[in-house]
A = this chain, B = another copy of it.
């Protein structure tokens, strides 16, 4: 049984301007005019000290000593009146950083600002060992110093333009676009600049980002965790660790959902939306993930949970890529999430 009733589904269709020839969203233009910020700032979650003897060649510093790793960087903005709503936490995916949610490759407003304009305290993180969240160079320097063999080097992944193009479903082949693609492909070089090396394969499971998200929710209060791609499973793992103050989970194009045969207890009290863009069926990888997530949503519903599966073309919204927070209709999709949060969370 789906959580959203037919009424809300229709409302979403209206909001997205589909289904009846409507071309505009039914929300006021939230992108114009100055932005008023009640409070903004940044801080870290988690982190542990470790002692290293291979800190490398810093000019004035010793090779041995303590460093702090596993912490997670968070930047936030709070508009006036945000107390009336849960917080929104934006959690990026593989080979990317919190930049994912900021100004789009073609220079339009990102979700980091739009959710603030819609009244939400908005938190943007960099996953552990990524972006402004420190990685640990000790293992690399130990090999450079001849203390360890090359086989001990950590796996570090960078995603190529060619591979990302297909994986992000811009088109069936590098340089080709799907008909009606919503991603601004002419600005794709700006997306490539967002991509960074990814140490996630070198980290324990769950990723240190997961307990950091639990810490964030305890610290800032009820929060909707919005994940993307690689981080898709993190909010579920966070809920399993500590469900308090998890006001909702929105998994956008998750690389994985929990198994349909998993213990549903941690998820039953938390509204869940799993959201995919278009053209998933053209990709064996994505087709399998969509099916697996659909099974999970169905199983959670049967177990008494409140879960919704949204595959955008199934509600008439066409052409969205894997990077739908950067697509041309990104704010309309954000509106869909805002509506869902208003109906379900807290």
A residues with CB within 8 A of B: 34-38, 40-44, 47, 49, 52, 55-62, 64-68, 71, 73, 75, 80, 94-95, 97-99, 102-103, 107, 109-110, 113, 126, 131-138, 140-141, 143-144, 146, 150-151, 153, 155-164, 167, 189-190, 192-198, 201, 285
Contact = CB atoms under 8 A, between A and B. Distances in A.
Interface centre among A40, A94, A285 (most CB of B within 10 A): A40
Contacts of A159: 55, 58, 61, 67
Given A150-B143, A163-B65, A157 B56 contact: yes
Contacts of A71: 193
Given A61-B167, A62-B163, 10 more contacts: A34-B80, A41-B107, A44-B194, A47-B193, A55-B157, A55-B158, A60-B167, A68-B161, A97-B131, A140-B153
A42 B103 contact: yes
Contact of A36 (B36, B61, B136): B36
Contacts of A58: 94-95, 157-159, 163, 198
8 contacts: A57-B156, A58-B94, A62-B162, A65-B160, A66-B161, A67-B195, A126-B132, A140-B140
A44 B143 contact: no
A158 to B, nearest CB: 5
Nearest to A144: B153
A142 to B, nearest CB: 10
A173 B159 CA distance: 44
A131 to B, nearest CB: 5
Contacts of A110: 41
Contacts of A42: 99, 102-103
Contact of A57 (B68, B107, B157, B167): B157
Given A42-B103, A135-B197, A155-B57, A161 B62 contact: no
B160 A141 contact: no
Contact of A196 (B56, B57, B134, B197): B134
A157 B56 CA distance: 5
A43 to B, nearest CB: 6
B160 A64 contact: yes
Contact of A132 (B99, B103, B113): B99
Contacts of A162: 62, 65-66
A138 B158 CA distance: 9
Contacts of A95: 58
A71 B190 CA distance: 10
A112 to B, nearest CB: 9
A112 B75 CA distance: 12
B56 A134 contact: no
A41 B101 CA distance: 10
B190 A98 contact: no
B56 A156 contact: yes
A201 B35 contact: no
